[in-house]
A and B are shown apart, each in its own frame.
Chain A
């Protein structure tokens, strides 16, 4: 079986590689690129720990072949900090609101919450819960994750108001 050439942008860096077609995006990110923020949880599209941003969509990278990401623009949790290296509002929210315990689900939670806030800058508690329904957490009971997303929404909205 012949390899396929792929070229994509990951966290702002252009990467090119020849991959076996059956290589999943999560394996490509972790093993070929050493980007280990996206986690392998269930490998069955349920848990969301492998969630990354791909061309403005949050996707489960265990259910996408690297070959399908040809030409894509991908962001992982490694690409979420502010340009000056400080924590983004979401990252800060997870810290301030204690939105994690073991931390395994956190990279997926942050990537999914990022897209949710891009699409809905002021989500209700219900909208946050439904928006994160593809991400499982076995520690927190979700309460503090919801608070963390709310914290980020408030902070981002506050900033926008201050800028206006």
Chain B
């Protein structure tokens, strides 16, 4: 399996990347960790004429978690996310999610920026970023702009990012101290994409749910922010009745295709089960 021929570029700064993208239009592709793109290139499903390697762009790797936002550079690898004590403290769901992605070797290379920007509905981070209310920072020839994760995904592999833009970082509103969180992913084996997965972040005020956000992975063309499912929990004690309502609301928005991971009905059911489990586990972690 040999990829098609291409010209290789190794720019040293984001500005140089943008210049190359502007010059080459849709014939150019950036490669970060390469563990989605290179397999696609080997299958000739992707045949970029110009490959722009981000490996030497140093300023895309920072993790900052101070004050109201957590900022993660696009070239931060899944391994970096898992290893970051800063993130384990400020936004621990990211470590939980990263540990469900692929396998150790892939996590040394695969980046969070590539995971969210590629637009693959099987990727785990997009739904998690929707759950967290994250914002993606894009840079293009006209400068920088920000797009909410909940507005970013249009269809499988189609996103709000334009051909001449690069995703440089992700900005996450720092979750409230004492929040509960969980990512439940049903998969056939280590390294597989989800049959269905659910991300939950919630906060409690005494015995009452103060806020809740729920999003689903791989049960549609895009990640799905299940707004009504989260709302079904707010104001309740997250008793069995409230969980059942949230699960029903999540299943109502799941739109999976039938594939080798199972028929549509099974995957909708699995999305409900994952949602219920994630809510219950998030609740056990939330400070009351």
Q: Are B53 and A2 in contact (CB under 8 A)?
A: no
Chain A interface residue count, Cβ-Cβ cutoff 8 angstroms? 30
Stretch at the interface among A64-72, A87-95, A99-107, A151-159: A64-72
Asked if B260 is at the interface (CB within 8 A of a chain A CB), the reply is no
Q: Are A22 and B3 in contact (CB under 8 A)?
A: yes
| Residue interface bits A19-60, CB-to-B below 8 A is 1, else 0 | 011101000000000000000000111101001000001111
Q: Are A22 and B103 in contact (CB under 8 A)?
A: no
Q: Are A67 and B8 in contact (CB under 8 A)?
A: yes
A1-B5 in contact given A63-B34, A67-B53, A131-B104 (Cβ < 8 Å): yes
Q: Are A134 and B109 in contact (CB under 8 A)?
A: no
Asked if A112 is at the interface (CB within 8 A of a chain B CB), the reply is yes
Asked if A4 is at the interface (CB within 8 A of a chain B CB), the reply is yes
Interface residues on B, range: 20 to 34
* A143 surroundings in chain B (CB, below 8 A): none
Q: For the complex, what is the distance from the CA of A65 to the CA of B10, rounded to whole Å?
A: 12
* B190 surroundings in chain A (CB, below 8 A): 130, 133-134
Chain B nearest CB: distance from A159 CB in Å?
25
Q: For the complex, what is the distance from the CA of A25 to the CA of B221, rounded to whole Å?
A: 33
Asked if B39 is at the interface (CB within 8 A of a chain A CB), the reply is yes
Q: Which residue in chain A gives the minimum CB-CB distance to B103?
A: A134
- In B8-47, the 8 Å CB interface with A consists of 8, 10, 31, 34-35, 38-39, 41-42
Q: Which residue in chain A gives the minimum CB-CB distance to B8?
A: A21
Q: Are A63 and B109 in contact (CB under 8 A)?
A: yes
Chain A nearest CB: distance from B133 CB in Å?
31
Q: Are A45 and B39 in contact (CB under 8 A)?
A: yes
Chain A nearest CB: distance from B54 CB in Å?
10
Asked if B6 is at the interface (CB within 8 A of a chain A CB), the reply is yes
Kindly list the 4 A-B residue pairs having the minimum CB-CB distance in the complex, ordered from nearest. Answer: A134-B103, A21-B8, A57-B108, A133-B190
The chain B residues found within 8 Å of chain A, CB to CB, are 1-8, 10, 31, 34-35, 38-39, 41-42, 51, 53, 55, 79, 102-106, 108-109, 190-191
The chain A residues found within 8 Å of chain B, CB to CB, are 1-2, 4, 20-22, 24, 43-46, 48, 51, 57-60, 63-65, 67-68, 70, 112, 115-116, 130-131, 133-134
